[in-house]
Amino acid sequence: MLRIAEKIKRLGTETAFAVSAEAAAFAAKGNKVYPFHIGDLNFSTPSTVVNGTIKAIHDGKTGYCPTAGIPQLREAIADDINAARGTNYTMENVAVQPGGKPTIGKFILALLNPGDEALYPNPGYPIYESQIEFNGAVAVPYTFVEGEKNFVFEINSIKEKITPRTKIIILNDLQNPSGAEFSRKDLEELAALAIEHNLIILSDEAYFDIRYEGKSLSIASIPGMEERTVILYSFSKRFAMTGWRLGATIGPKEIIEVITKLNVNDESCSNHFIQYGAIEGLRGDQTEVKNILTVLKQRRNAAVDILNSIQGITCFNPNATFYLFPNVTSLFTRKGYIGYDSFRKDILNNTGVSFCTRIHFGRPFPGEKNYYIRIAYSGINLNELTEGLNKFKDYIHSLNDEKIHKRILTTSLLN
């Protein structure tokens, strides 16, 4: 018998991948699928990045390179961060990574001892909880509530959970899945708490540049925070580079040195030639990058309008990220749905519209009253988006008492 290590039982996953697999299986049977479940982009990577990378391959940049990344890219990332966030980083504060995600596990490995407590957002990106628990630390969730215009963060929900064992807070401002955004006041209050309790912040800024109006703000720019913040930086979303795998960890030199040591032990170095392409992406012409945002904004506007016209759904219109997190509670009650999975599968089977739900972003809190789904509009063109969401709407509006009764019976047999 193969015996897998005990600690693997503590490792979580992204259950959203199971939704992708179900959608693919449904499509393989000849059905049309409208993909709203994945946070991937159906845009070409800007030609600046592509050409820079191809040139680097021709120039022979195909061997190992420095573990923390090539100096020119570390410098370009520090410049980019400083320009957008008003910080004072140098290349010594930057460790290049194969994607944004590796920063999460490496940060936790570098900072937490078994039994330490880590605050993290729930609903939120599921890898936080997975990595905290895998490393023997205690995952303590905090949450968001609906404000007037968007989800808002309540500082008291964090304050009351800080104990003498709390070491870190994971912050994902411009949040996946909710699109929640913190105000400057929220960030200042959070910074004051971090300083008072000597906490380190992991600021997941994967969506910092996916913004349609206003200006993104980083907690690292608040006085006293540069020395206690580690930024997760990613090329994935801003440059439509999810499959290229390039990102970086930015933070105090002592932490970057540890993270670089973890790089040596894990991947040796990030892909060499892509780093040259990334420099061109950061320093070169930004027309194609801006165009991605223009198209995403059109999709957001269309999706929000249709979702809000569906009986029983209310949806905010967030200024950042490419996610929507509509509240479907009243649809559940009025149309007799009995659980997240039966709802999701019913909509997929009857309309082809595929999405994730709240349960793909952490365990619901006991007694949680509201139901939410997550709509990602980054991987579907405007026409398809409109067609799919209108099918969803027509289906919901067509449900009468008789159909509902029949469907509840069928779905309860299935679940």
Which residues within the stretch 27-46 sit at the binding site for ligand PLP (CB under 6 A)? Answer: 39
Using rule CB under 6 A, residue 93 touches ligand PLP: no
Smallest separation, CB 233 to ligand PLP (Å): 8
Closest CA relative to residue 204, chosen from 178, 167, 229, 240: 229
Nearest approach, Cβ of residue 322 and ligand PLP (Å): 10
Contact criterion met (CB below 8 Å) for 240 and 45: yes
Residues 121-150 that bind ligand PLP (CB under 6 A): 125
DSSP single-letter state for residue 45: P
Cα-based distances in Å from 142 to 161, 192, 294, 351 = 8, 17, 33, 34
Pull the structure tokens for residue 259.
């993270």
Q: Which is nearer to ligand PLP, 376 or 396 (CB)?
A: 376
Stretch that binds ligand PLP, among 50-58, 94-102, 193-201, 363-371 (CB under 6 A): 94-102
Query: 373-376 and 356-357 as β-strands: parallel, antiparallel, unpaired?
Result: antiparallel
Residue nearest to ligand PLP (CB): 100
The pattern of x and - marking residues 180 through 209 that bind ligand PLP according to CB under 6 A reads ------------------------x-x---
Which amino acid type is present at position 309? S
Beta carbon nearer to ligand PLP, 248 or 348: 248
Measured CA to CA, the distance from residue 405 to residue 336 in angstroms comes to 8
Query: How many C-beta neighbours within 10 Å does residue 268 have?
Result: 11
231 near ligand PLP, rule: CB under 6 A:
no
247 binds ligand PLP (CB under 6 A): yes
* DSSP secondary structure letter of residue 59: T
As to burial, measured by CB atoms within 10 angstroms (0-12 exposed, 13-18 middle, 19+ buried), residue 44 is: exposed
Q: Which of 61, 74, 85, 101 binds ligand PLP (CB under 6 A)?
A: 101
Is 70 or 248 the residue whose CB approaches ligand PLP more closely?
248
Total of residues contacting ligand PLP (CB under 6 A): 13
Backbone angles phi, psi at 226, to 5 degrees: -60, -35
Please report, as residue ranges, which positions from 309 to 338 form the binding site for ligand PLP (by CB under 6 A): none
> Which stretches of the chain bind ligand PLP, using CB under 6 A?
39, 99-101, 125, 172, 176, 204, 206, 234, 236, 242, 247
